């Protein structure tokens, strides 16, 4: 009877440790979810996921294969409703699920209040919140990694073929969402090593790990042929390491210092293993530290020769930091005589952490928190252009604005498009050359206005001048047309040109130079 009474509160506390963080994460994710503009990466998701399955598969043969599973998932989601909020809802749900899983991990590896604090710390982290509100795969990868880690803990406690199969499946699916998630495996291997698990556990883990690697290997091999997509990433140094630490621990120096101090305390005075001897559990620090440390270290090392080190690729291992910080808080607050006081003190600390980072959370909900605002560029075109006008995109990837917001480009003729993005199996379509552009401008009816949509972060710079086709387009435009006005918005510009119907230079024009790059 006494055991039953004890199990009830413990079970309720465990559920609260999962539900409370999930609720907070969902609320923060929904707060300001509609920013009024998708940025370019979200735009890729939006326009690709709305293609047919056949068209998506054709695209993956040449580009973005690493996001293939995510695009197929979003194809189903956006079939329900295609707008910016729906685009981001899977990331909100995944973040809420990850916060709940972190709570479950803390409860299982220590006790429910540790899980509660860890889950809440994860939920209020601004870096987590950033990707909770982004229509990309990273929040889903984080959820898969947290689930795989929980399944590892369960399988290590009392391994069975079914448990190890579930673990291997979770790692495989997470790796198919993003191939760098396979870095979970060396982290989990180190967890088992420092936990001194028996041979049968190693055998089960090795079989599951090999199966997961076999599932992800074709994606990894095929994606090597598309490595040009990440050729812009630079070799990381100390600045990138510092930025990642602040992403994981908190952007404010005070919050980061407290988080790291608590994590250090958890490592210097680790919590003992919990659970009965017949079902030994992995120590919390043995799970959390490798999760937080091993993937970044391995990716950083690999990036010294092949740069691929980006903070968003490592969101999936952030959960280790709040687990350690919560364990350190347990060491500090565990001496309090009343359990409720300790729980309340920990929650108050999380609230203080959130308030200390509130300004960052507010900034994350502004369109300016992302790289660009194509909605403003599209709105400028929609406001200024009229049906029958022509449009030119410089460089060609600026066509994404029309693919994301096609309504603002209704009735405009694309001067360089040869085949649409969907038909050509590309992100932005196939274009004609400069000679065909010259002919098309020469065939424009008298009085036709040409609208040039510029990416002001690249046009006029060294990269743009090195792109022969793009630079040739700008030269043709400048030679045959006269710039009359330009509207600048953040990251882009829309210029109106008047062109002579016979293809000659309009009077009083001069050669128009591309607008200078703007600062983000």
164 and 303 assigned to the same domain? yes
| Locus of tokens 């790289």 | 371
pLDDT at 519: 31
Cis-peptide into 395, omega within 30 deg: yes
Rounded average pLDDT over 181-210: 96
Q: Which domain holds residue 481?
A: 374-499
387 and 341 assigned to the same domain? no
| Residue 506, pLDDT above cutoff 80 | no
Q: Taking the mean position of all CA atoms in its chain, how far away is CA 371?
A: 13
359 and 406 assigned to the same domain? no
Nearest to 308 by CA among 291, 290, 295: 295
Which has the minimum average pLDDT: 172-186, 267-281, 380-394, 437-451?
267-281
457 — pLDDT class (breaks 50, 70, 90): confident
7 assigned to some structural domain: no
Alpha-carbon Rg for the chain, nearest whole angstrom, is 26
152 and 169 assigned to the same domain? yes
pLDDT tens per residue across span 218-254 = 999 999 888 888 888 999 999 999 999 999 999 878 8
Tokens at 53, concatenated: 């399955």
Nearest to 38 by CA among 377, 360, 486: 377
Three-class secondary structure of residue 243 per DSSP? helix
250 and 142 assigned to the same domain? yes
Residues of the chain by 3-state class (helix, strand, coil), percent to 5: 65, 5, 25
Instruction: Indicate the pTM of the whole model.
Output: 0.92
Three-class secondary structure of residue 279 per DSSP? coil
300 and 240 assigned to the same domain? yes
* Counted domains in the chain: 2
Domain boundary among 339, 369, 399: 369
Phi-psi region of 374 (alpha: psi -120 to 50; beta: other; left: phi over 0): alpha
């Amino acid at each position: 009877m006494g055991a039953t009474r004890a199990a009830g509160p413990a079970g309720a506390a465990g559920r609260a440790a999962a539900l409370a963080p999930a609720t907070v994460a969902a609320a923060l994710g929904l707060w300001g979810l509609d920013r009024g503009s998708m940025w370019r990466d979200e735009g890729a998701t939006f326009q690709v996921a709305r293609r047919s399955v056949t068209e998506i598969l054709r695209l993956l043969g040449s580009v973005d294969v690493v996001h293939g599973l995510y695009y197929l998932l979003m194809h189903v989601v956006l079939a329900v409703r295609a707008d910016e909020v729906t685009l981001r809802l899977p990331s909100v749900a995944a973040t809420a699920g990850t916060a709940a899983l972190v709570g479950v991990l803390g409860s299982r590896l220590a006790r429910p209040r540790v899980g509660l604090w860890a889950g809440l710390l994860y939920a209020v982290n601004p870096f987590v919140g950033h990707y909770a509100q982004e229509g990309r795969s990273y929040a889903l990868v984080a959820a898969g990694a947290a689930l795989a880690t929980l399944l590892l803990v369960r399988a290590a406690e009392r391994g069975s073929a079914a448990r190890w199969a579930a673990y291997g499946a979770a790692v495989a699916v997470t790796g198919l969402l993003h191939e760098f998630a396979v870095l979970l495996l060396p982290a989990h291997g180190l967890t088992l090593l420092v936990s001194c698990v028996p041979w049968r556990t190693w055998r089960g883990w090795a079989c599951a790990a090999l199966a997961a690697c076999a599932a992800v290997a074709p994606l990894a091999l095929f994606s090597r042929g598309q490595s040009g997509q990440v050729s812009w990433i630079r070799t990381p140094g100390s600045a990138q390491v510092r930025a990642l630490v602040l992403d994981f621990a908190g952007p404010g120096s005070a919050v980061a210092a407290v988080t790291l101090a608590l994590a250090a305390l958890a490592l210097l005075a680790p919590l003992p293993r919990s659970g009965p001897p017949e079902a030994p559990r992995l120590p919390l620090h043995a799970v959390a530290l490798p999760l937080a440390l091993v993937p970044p270290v391995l990716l950083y090392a690999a990036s010294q020769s092949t740069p691929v080190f980006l903070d968003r690729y490592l969101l999936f291992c952030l959960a280790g930091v709040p687990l350690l910080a919560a364990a350190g808080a347990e060491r500090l607050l565990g001496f309090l005589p009343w359990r409720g006081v300790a729980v309340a003190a920990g929650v108050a600390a999380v609230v203080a952490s959130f308030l200390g980072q509130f300004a960052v959370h507010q900034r994350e909900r502004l369109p300016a928190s992302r790289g660009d605002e194509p909605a403003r560029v599209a709105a400028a075109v929609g406001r200024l252009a009229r049906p029958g006008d022509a449009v030119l995109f410089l460089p060609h990837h600026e066509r994404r604005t029309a693919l994301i917001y096609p309504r603002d480009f209704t009735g405009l003729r694309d001067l360089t498009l040869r085949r649409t993005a969907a038909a050509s199996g590309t992100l932005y379509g196939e274009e004609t050359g400069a000679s065909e552009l010259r002919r098309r401008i020469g065939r424009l009816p008298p009085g036709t206005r040409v609208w040039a949509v510029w990416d002001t972060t690249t046009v006029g710079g060294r990269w743009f001048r090195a792109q022969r086709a793009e630079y040739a387009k700008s030269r043709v435009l400048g030679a045959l047309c006269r710039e009359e006005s330009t509207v600048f918005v953040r990251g882009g510009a829309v210029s109106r040109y008047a062109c002579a119907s016979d293809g000659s230079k309009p009077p009083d024009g001069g050669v128009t130079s591309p607008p200078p790059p703007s600062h983000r």
